[in-house]
């Protein structure tokens, strides 16, 4: 407990956030004393036949109060003060209506909405725009974009958002990077469940099928505290859309093929809903690709296959409901054959050769080295609305299996790495709305996690056996201060206990001085190895304070400060030895404490019918930032290896993103995106590794509404050369030639420019369904280039021209 | 109240899985590690043997390999050499030589001598299934009888080189072992 209080007093910002938070709570409960006991009843009906519309959203703009109509189309707001109000009524299948209304006594109003079932598609997109956070500008990816990228991975889809890039290991493995941060610093939430899939690994891609997702948002503010306190980079929320409250069947079938990789996929989802609130949904995806190709050669062994499925069923009523969700994500993927390096000299040779050493004819075979991953997620959630708010409970279970097969001697076909990570969690969340435009969200959760590295691999464990117990509490409060000001504040406490068993090399245990620092961890000295039982407790506090100032209807300013605390991940704590795929020795540190990020962001957003502009600036001051640097060369029997150690130093990152879209004439659109990020160690201003280079995207598109909504667009993407990078190069002695050669793993590749073409068309089927045909040509000019954020850039270039065609039918 | 029933259903799940035994994990048998390479050079004139050895018992641990050379080579004779690889992390030590011989197609040993060390190398049997050299056995001799000198003799074991090849530089593959031995010819 000592730890928690030190942290408490050390962080003035936390204190301020706390005080602020409680002050608001007090003000809120006292301020309220006018004539405010009117009730306002709204009935929403179909304009055509007068049938009641359930689940319509009625928003009182001035109060920022929202209500949903019940099965009879009614919603009642209590304790409304005497005043004029603007009401906004929306329904998933109807056009929104805004109307004004005077309340000076108990009031009833009937609203008629134009109800069009066959406009489902468009409307769903609109309804997806409900924000998670109202004080932090939130980046969203709509179903539309997801559909255009349905043959891709999550990492690639997220790249469409300004300020987000991806860290790749080849073509398929792609991890999102938010404002320069990734891996354990970016938390993924899949349908409310925090994804636990060995995300610390730089070559581990998130286990989510984008075809199972209807909406993705990226949040960095108070609302993220509901999900995690350690999201130093941000939280990515992937969700399915809410099921409709009516008797209906809807879904779609999508098929796609692409020229590069000579493969494709098929994906389908089917939802049946009943007006009683019951529903079920099935979704499945199959993908298969062969070797990808650069403009000049085949990248041997880069194909993959993916099989995913998800099932959901439940009851969705206004005041109570539950759902059961299961998803399976499994893939099997080849790693570039030539990226298997053993020593520093192998990498020097690869860099010198520029093209892979092994180039074979195109093939669909997935040979060694390869990865096989399967991720099971089971979730059970229920909610009920009480007079104090909506209470929900969630239990989830995840099992992540990761097998990595490496080139091994002696006909060994078993994996070199075989990890099973199981996570159970139980959470209770409360959402309360108060009379004076304020909301309280609070919750409590507990989690148990167990990692099991299978010893039958015959290879030293990279991540040890461990059990982890987490407990957390959070509370987020928001309030409309005045017409223009909206404030949000939150705080979260996380406790973690890690109980690990690990065999350390006795020589390393002693060289690191662990025998004196952590004698209590030693279980048994076995000579070559020492069995240890490291146990750690981490107490972390995270908090957030944000405000939105509305200059006008269409112009907003968002200001946000958030503090996130992240405990070191298993790799940072326990690494000790040769990491084969990187050909380097990686050493963690048992004495690390939590990394604390202070993120300040300021966003200006303005949008009207013709244009929209978003400018986002941020500064992220990270204390005890954990990162790896090469410290030495180490001789082993296999030759000399660079010796990389995890270090804990203060760091700073800052940057800004701009996005501007404008419509000219009636159907001509132009869009621009620009983002720049800089990251340094604070003590010596040395640049941080793997910072995304400056990039600029421009797009022009033209829409032909009369030609079945034909949309044609041209995108240009210019990525500058990263000119600031840490120099981690080494002179390595080549004994056979008796010379020193430079191991240059630092110098970034040159700038590159890509042009992409896209066209889409929508067609109505006779039975009322819709066809959508999408054509994309990426890297139109078949440019040969390398990408700084691709870990395999020493071995290969990037993909050449790729023509993608997808046809989807929705009903 | 349905949700609470489901909540109750979930709880046994949670406890069931927390109820693991506190077993310590079993030690891993590190199978593929090579800790030791011993090169035995037998003089063809019967003047004895010279042994070159490198031994790294903690593998990728911080201790450096110990390199020993039993004595000088004679400028008056050739030597027939043979190499043995061991994994001494296992008990008893595992002979990796057999494994390499079984996968002769995928392995090759390369020899090189630094300037000032006038040595020549010839691959001898066994060859791999395609008749390409493996290098477990070889013959080593001064370039010209009577040549003397000193320098480094580097022995490199490569996994999956291109075969046939014309030397280490262009063979590709990945290096399993590479050690330089300080050698003198008297």
Residues 6 or more apart whose CB falls under 8 angstroms from that of A411 comprise: B102, B103
CB < 8 Å to B32, chain A: 408-410, 412, 458-459
| Structural domain ending residue among the three candidates A115, A131, A148 | A115
Q: Which two tokens stand for residue A442?
A: 């609070």
For strands B107-113 and B149-159, give the pairing.
antiparallel
CB < 8 Å to A340, chain B: 174
Residues A664 and A785 in one domain: yes
Residues A57 and A111 in one domain: yes
φ and ψ at residue A792, rounded to 5 degrees:
-95, 15
Residue with tokens 């190499």: B83
CB atoms within 10 A of CB A289: 24
Interface test with A, best of B25, B33, B57 (most A CBs within 10 A): B25
Residue with tokens 């050369």: A721
Cis peptide before B164 (omega within 30 of 0): yes
- Asked if B162 contacts B168 with a C-beta cutoff of 8 angstroms, the reply is no
Residue A20: band (very low, low, confident or very high) from pLDDT cuts 50, 70, 90: low
What's the DSSP call for residue A455?
G
Residues A92 and A155 in one domain: no
CB < 8 Å to B177, chain A: 637-639
- Is A662 part of a structural domain of the chain? yes
Mean pLDDT, chain A, as a whole number? 86
CB < 8 Å to A641, chain B: 60
Return the pLDDT at A121.
Answer: 26
CB < 8 Å to A451, chain B: none
- Is A576 part of a structural domain of the chain? yes
Interface test with A, best of B37, B174, B175, B182 (most A CBs within 10 A): B174
Q: Which domain holds residue A275?
A: 139-810
CA distance A395 to chain B (A): 7
CB < 8 Å to B154, chain A: 735-736
- Is A806 part of a structural domain of the chain? yes
Return the pLDDT at A56.
Answer: 83
Mean pLDDT across the stretch A665-679? 92
CA distance B3 to A86: 36
Determine the residue of chain B that is closest to A738 in CA distance: B114
Helix (H, G, I), strand (E, B) or coil at A13: helix
Interface test with A, best of B53, B56, B178, B180 (most A CBs within 10 A): B178
Residue A93: band (very low, low, confident or very high) from pLDDT cuts 50, 70, 90: low
Span B109-152, pLDDT tens digits: 999 999 889 999 999 999 999 999 999 999 999 998 889 999 99
CB < 8 Å to B18, chain A: 424, 448
Residue A28 pLDDT > 60, yes or no?
no
- Is A19 part of a structural domain of the chain? no
More confident residue, A609 or A314: A314
Domain ranges of chain B: 30-185
Q: Which two tokens stand for residue A707?
A: 């030609």
Pick from A315, A511, A637: CB nearest B35 = A637
CB < 8 Å to A343, chain B: 174-175, 178
CATH architecture of the domain with residue range B30-185: Sandwich (2.60)
Span A139-157, pLDDT tens digits: 667 677 777 777 788 888 8
CA distance A579 to chain B (A): 10
Return the pLDDT at A81.
Answer: 81
Residues A64 and A159 in one domain: no
The pTM score is: 0.82
CA distance A288 to A280: 28
CB < 8 Å to A395, chain B: 7, 10, 13-14
Mean pLDDT across the stretch B22-35? 84
Return the pLDDT at A395.
Answer: 97
Pick from A342, A511, A533: CB nearest B175 = A342
Three-state SS sequence of A656-683: EEEEEEEEECCCEEEEEEEEEEEEEECC
Residue A331 pLDDT > 70, yes or no?
yes
CATH number at residue A316: 2.40.170.20
B contact residues 114-133, partner A, Cβ 8 Å cutoff: 114-115
Mean pLDDT across the stretch A66-70? 84
Pick from B7, B17, B65: CB nearest A422 = B17
What ipTM did this prediction achieve?
Answer: 0.84
Interface test with A, best of B4, B8, B10, B37 (most A CBs within 10 A): B10
Cβ within 8 Å, pair A736-B4: no
Residues 6 or more apart whose CB falls under 8 angstroms from that of A606 comprise: A554, A555, A556, A612, A613, A614
Residue A436 pLDDT > 60, yes or no?
yes
A278: left (phi over 0), alpha (psi -120 to 50) or beta: beta
CATH number at residue A108: 2.60.40.10
Closest CA relative to residue A330, chosen from A400, A392, A254, A269: A400
Mean pLDDT across the stretch A494-516? 94
Residues A384 and A286 in one domain: yes
| Structural domain ending residue among the three candidates A63, A80, A115 | A115
Span A694-724, pLDDT tens digits: 999 999 999 888 888 899 999 999 999 999 9
Residues A485 and A360 in one domain: yes
Residue environment code for B103-138, b if the CB has 16+ CB neighbours within 10 A, otherwise e = bbebbbbbbbbbeebbbebebbeeebeeeebbbbbb
| Structural domain ending residue among the three candidates A115, A147, A164 | A115
Residues 6 or more apart whose CB falls under 8 angstroms from that of A243 comprise: A271, A273, A279, A281, A314, A316
Span B79-94, pLDDT tens digits: 999 999 999 988 889 9
Cβ within 8 Å, pair A639-B178: yes
CB < 8 Å to A639, chain B: 175, 177-178
Residues A146 and A109 in one domain: no
CA distance B31 to chain A (A): 5
Closest CA relative to residue A324, chosen from A243, A378, A377, A269: A378
CA distance A666 to B67: 78
Determine the residue of chain A that is closest to B1 in CA distance: A384
Cis peptide before A630 (omega within 30 of 0): no
Residue B28: band (very low, low, confident or very high) from pLDDT cuts 50, 70, 90: confident
- Is A308 part of a structural domain of the chain? yes
Q: Which two tokens stand for residue B51?
A: 């042994």
CA distance A371 to chain B (A): 20
Residue A243: band (very low, low, confident or very high) from pLDDT cuts 50, 70, 90: confident
CB < 8 Å to B110, chain A: 736
Least confident residue range of A199-208, A363-372, A528-537: A199-208
Q: At what angle do helices A2-10 and A12-30 cross, to 10 degrees?
A: 80
Residue A49 pLDDT > 60, yes or no?
no
Determine the residue of chain A that is closest to B57 in CA distance: A528
- Asked if A229 contacts A541 with a C-beta cutoff of 8 angstroms, the reply is yes
Cβ within 8 Å, pair B20-A450: yes
Least confident residue range of A37-46, A287-296, B138-147: A37-46
Question: How many helices and strands in chain B, by DSSP H and E?
Answer: 3, 10
Pick from A409, A424, A507: CB nearest B61 = A507
- Is A130 part of a structural domain of the chain? no
Residues A361 and A473 in one domain: yes
Residue with tokens 């939105």: A548
Q: Which two tokens stand for residue B183?
A: 């050698």
- Asked if A452 contacts B21 with a C-beta cutoff of 8 angstroms, the reply is no
Residues A323 and A394 in one domain: yes
Mean pLDDT across the stretch A586-592? 93
Q: Could you tell me how many CB contacts below 8 A there are between chain A and chain B?
A: 176
B contact residues 58-117, partner A, Cβ 8 Å cutoff: 58-65, 89, 96, 99-100, 102-103, 110, 112, 114-115
CA distance A731 to chain B (A): 17
Domain count, chain A: 2
Residue B182 pLDDT > 70, yes or no?
yes
Closest CA relative to residue A221, chosen from A561, A485, A622: A561
CA distance B22 to chain A (A): 10
Return the pLDDT at A108.
Answer: 78
């Amino acid at each position: 407990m000592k730890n928690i209080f030190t942290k408490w007093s050390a962080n003035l910002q936390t204190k301020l956030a706390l005080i602020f938070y409680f002050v608001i709570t007090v003000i809120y409960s006292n301020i309220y004393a006018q004539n405010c006991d009117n009730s306002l009843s709204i009935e929403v009906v179909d304009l055509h036949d007068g049938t009641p519309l359930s689940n319509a959203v009625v928003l009182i703009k001035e109060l920022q109060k929202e209500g949903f109509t019940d099965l009879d189309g009614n919603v009642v707001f209590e304790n409304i003060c005497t005043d004029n109000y603007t009401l906004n009524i929306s329904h998933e299948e109807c056009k929104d209506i805004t109307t004004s209304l005077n309340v000076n006594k108990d009031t009833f109003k009937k609203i008629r909405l134009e109800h069009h079932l066959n406009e489902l598609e468009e409307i769903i997109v609109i309804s997806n725009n409900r924000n998670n956070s109202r004080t932090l500008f939130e980046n969203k990816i709509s179903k539309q974009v997801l559909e255009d990228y349905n043959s891709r991975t999550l990492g690639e889809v997220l790249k469409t958002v300004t300020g987000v890039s991806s860290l790749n290991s080849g073509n398929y493995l792609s991890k999102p990077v938010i404002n320069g941060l990734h891996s354990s610093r970016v938390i993924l939430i899949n349908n409310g469940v925090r994804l636990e899939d060995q995300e610390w690994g730089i070559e581990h891609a998130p286990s989510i099928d984008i075809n199972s997702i209807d909406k993705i948002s990226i949040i960095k503010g108070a609302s993220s505290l509901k999900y995690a306190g350690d999201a130093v980079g941000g939280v990515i929320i992937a969700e399915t859309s809410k099921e409709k409250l009516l008797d209906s069947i809807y879904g779609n079938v999508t098929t796609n093929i692409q020229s590069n990789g000579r493969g494709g996929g098929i994906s389908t989802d089917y939802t049946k809903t009943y007006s009683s609130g019951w529903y079920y949904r099935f979704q499945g995806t199959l993908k298969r690709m062969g070797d990808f190709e650069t403009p000049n050669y085949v990248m041997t062994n880069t194909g993959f296959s993916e099989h995913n499925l998800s099932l959901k069923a439940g009851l969705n009523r206004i005041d109570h409901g539950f759902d059961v969700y299961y998803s399976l994500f499994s893939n099997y993927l080849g790693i570039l054959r030539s990226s298997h390096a053993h020593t520093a000299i192998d990498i020097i040779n690869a860099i010198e050769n520029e093209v892979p050493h092994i180039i074979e004819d195109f093939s669909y075979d997935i040979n060694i080295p390869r990865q096989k991953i399967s991720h099971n997620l089971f979730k059970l959630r229920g909610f009920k609305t009480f007079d104090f708010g909506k209470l929900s409970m969630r239990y989830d279970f995840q099992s992540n299996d990761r097998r990595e097969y490496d080139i091994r001697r002696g006909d060994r076909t078993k994996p070199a790495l075989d990890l099973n990570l199981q996570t159970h969690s139980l959470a209770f969340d409360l959402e309360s709305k108060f009379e004076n435009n304020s909301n309280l969200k609070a919750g409590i959760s507990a989690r148990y996690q167990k990692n099991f590295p299978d010893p039958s691999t015959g290879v030293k464990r990279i991540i040890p056996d461990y059990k982890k117990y987490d407990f957390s509490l959070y509370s987020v409060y928001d309030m409309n201060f005045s017409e223009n000001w909206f404030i949000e504040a939150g705080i979260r406490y996380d406790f973690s206990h890690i109980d690990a068993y690990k065999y350390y090399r006795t020589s390393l245990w002693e060289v690191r001085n662990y025998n004196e620092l952590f004698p209590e961890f030693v279980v048994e000295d076995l000579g070559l190895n020492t069995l240890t039982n490291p146990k750690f407790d981490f107490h972390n506090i995270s908090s957030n304070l944000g405000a939105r100032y509305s200059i006008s209807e269409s112009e907003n300013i968002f200001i946000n400060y958030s503090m996130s605390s992240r405990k070191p991940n298993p790799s940072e704590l326990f690494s000790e030895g040769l990491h084969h795929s990187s050909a380097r020795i990686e050493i963690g540190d048992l004495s690390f404490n939590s990394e604390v990020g202070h993120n300040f962001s300021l966003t200006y957003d303005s949008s009207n019918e013709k244009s929209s502009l978003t400018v986002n600036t941020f500064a992220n001051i990270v204390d005890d930032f954990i990162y790896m640097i090469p410290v030495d060369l180490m001789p082993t029997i296999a030759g000399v290896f660079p010796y990389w150690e995890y270090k804990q130093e203060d760091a700073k990152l800052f940057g800004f993103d701009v996005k501007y879209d404008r419509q000219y004439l009636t159907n001509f659109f132009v869009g621009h995106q620009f983002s720049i990020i800089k990251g340094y160690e604070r003590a010596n201003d040395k640049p941080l590794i793997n910072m995304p280079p400056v990039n600029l995207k421009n797009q022009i598109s033209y829409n032909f509404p009369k030609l079945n909504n034909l949309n044609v667009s041209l995108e240009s993407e210019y990525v500058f050369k990263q000119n600031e990078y840490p120099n981690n190069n080494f002179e390595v002695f080549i004994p056979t030639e008796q010379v020193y050669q430079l191991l240059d793993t630092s110098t970034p590749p040159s700038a590159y420019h890509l042009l992409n073409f896209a066209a889409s068309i929508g067609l109505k089927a006779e039975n009322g369904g819709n066809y959508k045909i999408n054509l994309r040509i990426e890297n139109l000019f078949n440019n040969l280039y390398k990408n700084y954020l691709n870990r395999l850039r020493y071995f290969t270039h990037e993909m050449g021209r790729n023509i993608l065609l997808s046809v989807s039918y929705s009903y | 109240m349905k949700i609470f029933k489901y909540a109750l259903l979930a709880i046994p799940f949670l406890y069931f899985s927390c109820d693991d035994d506190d077993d310590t994990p079993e030690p891993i048998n590190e199978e593929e590690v090579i800790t030791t390479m011993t090169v035995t050079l037998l003089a063809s004139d019967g003047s004895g043997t010279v042994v070159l050895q490198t031994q790294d018992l903690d593998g990728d641990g911080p201790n450096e390999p110990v390199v020993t050379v039993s004595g000088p080579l004679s400028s008056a004779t050739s030597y027939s050499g043979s190499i043995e690889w061991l994994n001494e992390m296992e008990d008893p030590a595992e002979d990796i030589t057999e494994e390499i011989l079984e996968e002769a197609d995928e392995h090759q040993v390369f020899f090189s001598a630094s300037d000032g060390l006038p040595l020549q190398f010839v691959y001898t049997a066994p060859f791999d299934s395609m008749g390409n050299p493996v290098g477990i056995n070889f013959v080593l001799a001064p370039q010209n009888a009577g040549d003397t000198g000193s320098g480094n003799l580097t022995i490199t074991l490569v996994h999956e080189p291109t075969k046939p090849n014309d030397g280490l530089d262009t063979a590709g593959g990945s290096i399993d072992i590479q050690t330089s031995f300080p050698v003198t010819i008297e």
